[in-house]
Structure 1
Amino acid sequence: MKITHKLISLRKLYFLLFIVVFYNCKSTYKTQAFLTENIPPKPDYNLESSWAVLPWKYTDDFKVYASNQLDTLKADVFYVYPTLITDKKDTRWNAPITDVEQNETVVNKAVLMQASAFASSGKVYVPFYRQAHLRSYKLYKEGGKEAQELAYSDVKNAFEVYLKKYNKGRPIIMVGHSQGTTHTSRLLKEFFDGKPLQKQLIAAYIPGIRVKTKDFSVLKVMNSPNQTGGYVSWNTYKRNNYPKKDKDWYKGCVTTNPITWNDSNTTTLNQHKGFLYTNGKIYSKALTVEITDGLVWSTNPKFPLRFFMSFLKNYHAGDINLFWQDIRENAELRVNTWLATEQ
């Protein structure tokens, strides 16, 4: 009976993963007009409560992945999390930062599975922000633009407070995923691209949405593992699969190899350093990738009960944790390279 119950529990876990990653695109969103009176209160980023993560308020779970010598880290990490408000019955355009359920998801899922990859490279800063609902992309002209502008205004305000109050001239790793990349890309354009702050940029990791080289004037794609001062981006799908509705949507976008960090189009199992799963375990030599135009094609990762993941075609939710150890080691390398160059 114990074995049966364990299998049922694991199946439930995978089913939840399936629901989160592979939402039904055919169903329609319940929505409402974007009205000023419905906008959640503006966060004050001078208050520690407006931050999901500050270097002195890591959760115990996050500390597992952080450096044991936090005070000696010479770099900072500014991370913007992906869209977590996705319920099609939720008519809100933006989530307030007082939403307890959303905040728990930010801290215990997004931060733990994504930002943790950078916790050995720098001191991590993660602002809560009034994230836009997922439908803001699909219904961009029907309220989505306003919702995303509101979300970005928070991220920008948080970043400005970070620069003024916390940065103190330290080098920075910028990280975003999905909606987080939408906002982080704008930060890069506004604060770094050809600006004095670019000198402090170690690297930007901005996967999970389409990024094109023309999006930036000066910032360049990094195509070697120890290159600094630029950005990397990718979007992950199961091998031989494309976006369901628009096969060509990602064509021409930046497609970094998140295992080799160079121009290699394929990898071997031995090159893959590690996939961080929700059970907290890291599975190395778990997958291979193939680079196609705009997409990173991955094999079905080798880990317990991988059968359930075999039904997924879009690996968007795993853009970072599928390559967690690869990213972790690469971020450390880029930090060390930047520091050695600047000394």
Structure 2
Amino acid sequence: MKFRRIAVMMAGMAAIAAPAAEPLAPDYAQGRYWSAVNSLPQGVAPNTALRGVDVFWIHPTTTRSTTDYNHDPLDPTVLKWTEESAVQRQASAFSACCRIFAPRYRAATTKALMDPTRREAAFALAYSDIERAFDWYLAHENKGRPFIIAGHSQGGAHSASLLEKRIKGTALQGQLVAVYIIGINLMDGDLAPRFAGVPLCSEPAQTGCFVQWNSILAESDVAPTLKAYAAAFAAQNGGRVGGSPLCVNPVTFDRRRPVSPAAEAKGAVVGNPGFGAMGPLRAGAVAAECRDGLLIVRPAAELALKPLPGGSMHFHDVGLFWADLSANAALRARTWLKTHKRH
């Protein structure tokens, strides 16, 4: 499996100290290996009006370990952080459009992500769970329904792999509403041959396409990030030049409108990821611009969001645009259902 350099969640995650044997493979016929997404930002009312589309959500790296390369998805400490600080805060953005299927899987830990001798194997094990979960979903729940694939960070990488290996060029592509590949560095060079036939989304209501963004503070020096992205692509593609990173503004979702003022943003989650319920949304609090393939953001101070080193807003790739993502997923779902109306 190809591994592309991604921004890794290095702090605030569940910490594992005791060494353990390789975790058992999840049995996706058991409900305990699926997350129930039942949390919303404070003040947001549940919306179940649109349920004709499914979303298969893949959570990011959530385990900071000094001993293990893949986490046990049912470990109580790991599970609590994964659920409350990742799944509920992120996958919930799709609750207005879709039934959500969020597998608990043996995700690669930060130890694996930082160890080039074990990284590929750890990612391959994690992805094997994702494929089996997706197969179970297709066999038992899909029943021909349209679906969205979405994930952040490590989950974004696995989403990209599902698109490349299981959906592109198959009958499933006809059921695809969109793929939200968030927080990894896809490049122009990935458009072909890797994703040939599945375009980068150009318009907010377009279906059968994928979106991508990486958030970084406006005052940051982006040169090291761009250099690292280019080097990683070349290393994995026989020296081929990858071009620019791909970016779709998650406020406009329109490639003709790469810049959005703060007033246009529908709602960001206040505060850093953590345990417990989400705070309220704040509308009009994030200015954003796709520039040089990165999403340059200017969040309002009242959001109280802490960046990672170098100004990366990786922790907040979803939270900054929670309401915008929610509205866009619903729009694409409605568009697909209208276009493919069954008689």
TM tier, smaller:
0.7 to 0.9
- Give the distance between the partners of 1:283 and 1:61, measured in 2 at CA: 14
- Give the distance between the partners of 1:121 and 1:82, measured in 2 at CA: 21
Q: Does structure 2 conserve the Cα–Cα contact (< 8 Å) formed by 1:51 and 1:125?
A: yes
- Do residues 195 (structure 1) and 188 (structure 2) align? no
- Amino acid of the residue matched to residue 118 of structure 1? F
Q: Give the C-alpha shift of residue 137 in structure 1.
A: 3.0
Residue by residue over 1:294-316, the C-alpha shift from the partner in whole angstroms, topping out at 9 and shown as x without a partner, is 2100013342556x669871100
1:83 to 61, 65, 87: 61
Of 327-336 and 278-287, the range deviating more from structure 2? 278-287
Q: Give the C-alpha shift of residue 249 in structure 1.
A: 3.0
- Give the distance between the partners of 1:316 and 1:135, measured in 2 at CA: 18
Residue by residue over 1:190-210, the C-alpha shift from the partner in whole angstroms, topping out at 9 and shown as x without a partner, is 221111100111011111011
Q: Does structure 2 conserve the Cα–Cα contact (< 8 Å) formed by 1:77 and 1:125?
A: yes
- Do residues 97 (structure 1) and 73 (structure 2) align? yes
Q: Give the C-alpha shift of residue 254 in structure 1.
A: 1.2
2:134 to 159, 163, 179: 159
2:32 to 36, 46, 49: 49
* Cα distance change of structure 1 residues 62 and 52 upon mapping to structure 2, 3 Å threshold: farther
Of 226-235 and 279-288, the range deviating more from structure 2? 279-288
Structure 2 residue ranges without an equivalent (≥5): 1-7, 231-243, 272-277
Identity %: 31
- Amino acid of the residue matched to residue 64 of structure 2? T
- Give the distance between the partners of 1:327 and 1:123, measured in 2 at CA: 15
Q: Helix, strand or coil for the counterpart of 2:311?
A: coil
Aligned to 1:298: 297
Q: Helix, strand or coil for the counterpart of 1:86?
A: strand
Q: Does structure 2 conserve the Cα–Cα contact (< 8 Å) formed by 1:65 and 1:116?
A: no
2:160 to 185, 191, 205: 185
Q: Does structure 2 conserve the Cα–Cα contact (< 8 Å) formed by 1:52 and 1:103?
A: no
Residue by residue over 1:174-233, the C-alpha shift from the partner in whole angstroms, topping out at 9 and shown as x without a partner, is 111000011111111122111110011101111101113233121110010110001000
Aligned to 1:12: none
- In proportion to residue count, which structure has more strand? 2
* Cα distance change of structure 1 residues 75 and 91 upon mapping to structure 2, 3 Å threshold: same
- Do residues 108 (structure 1) and 84 (structure 2) align? yes
Q: Does structure 2 conserve the Cα–Cα contact (< 8 Å) formed by 1:82 and 1:181?
A: yes
Larger radius of gyration: 1
Name the count of aligned residue pairs: 306
Q: Does structure 1 conserve the Cα–Cα contact (< 8 Å) formed by 2:60 and 2:151?
A: yes
Of 239-248 and 216-225, the range deviating more from structure 2? 239-248
Aligned to 1:328: 326
Aligned to 1:40: 23
* Cα distance change of structure 1 residues 244 and 105 upon mapping to structure 2, 3 Å threshold: farther
* Cα distance change of structure 1 residues 266 and 22 upon mapping to structure 2, 3 Å threshold: farther
Q: Does structure 2 conserve the Cα–Cα contact (< 8 Å) formed by 1:21 and 1:315?
A: no
